[in-house]
Structure 1
Amino acid sequence: MGILELFLIAVGLSMDAFAVSICKGLAMRTMNWKNAWKAGLYFGGFQTLMPMIGYLLGSGFRDKITKIDHWIAFVLLVVIGLNMIKESREEDSDANDSFDVKTMLLLAVATSIDALAVGVSFAFLQVNIVAAVCFIGCITFAFGVAGVKIGNVFGTRYKSRAELAGGCILILMGVKILIEHLMG
């Protein structure tokens, strides 16, 4: 596998994390670089870890993983999206609290489920797995940090509407993942 193919895989895998990072940034009143780095580390870390786990699991568990991965991502994204919508309706909610460990772990898992399946496929290809997962993690980290900043630029102007939109986007992402997997 060449560097171009690996780059395209990394960008593709990081798009869910990028979209979620934008949603997180939308909900912030002021830019908090600590939270942006936190988002980048969670998303980049899980995008590094999940393909490695998938690689180690290999083909023996591939059917079992791909049968439920879309349901896991769907449930996590819908629950978090509904919570964001609820927070958008609360007066004076502090969206920075949504960078807590529990929320970030759920989001990181939800956005990296596909990377697990990619890791399984890496087990059957001529791939330097350590270099590949590190590359994927770095790309996702950068997209995560940038997404928070981009979201914040727009979110400070449109706070409650942006948080509402962010919640709706997460729910739609969950529905999209579910439909794509159910349709084949």
Structure 2
Amino acid sequence: LVDGDLVVWDTLAIAEYLAEQFPELHLWPRGVPERARARSVCAEMHSSFAALRGACPMNIEARLPQVGALALRDQPGVRADLQRLTGMWQQLLAEHGGPLLFGRFSIADAFFAPTVMRIRTYELPVPPEVAGYIESLCAAPGVKAWIDGALAEHDFRAFEEPYRLGRD
């Protein structure tokens, strides 16, 4: 993020900076316990889920269900990451009534948007309430604009996508 002479390069620091610059948007949940929880799940996203990230590179426009099935079959870390994510999301959705993690769009949802794209791309199996969360997040205006922008790029690079021979 570049704001005048200020450059902020870490995702979590960018989120904090934006929340401070635009307090009226309530980018973090309003309650102290909910904000603490949201910050915790963002920190976990920021530092975890390496197996899923490594096995399933993010690509919004691809559909790679066979790769997802192999990753789940062959990589216990991917299974563990998916189980942790879906369990966390189920708990937050139940606690806050959905359709998003803290009831309404927050920084936590923005942090998980790339992971949601991985789940969609690789068609990883999720419980129905998590599938509903994924659809709600993808329909959120900012996320939808991000998806639409990515789809408009048509930026296929074979060396970055070892599982695809060409465009789907």
Q: Which has the higher contact order (CA 8 A, sep 6+)?
A: 1
Higher helix share: 1
- TM-score, normalised by the number of residues in structure 1: 0.31
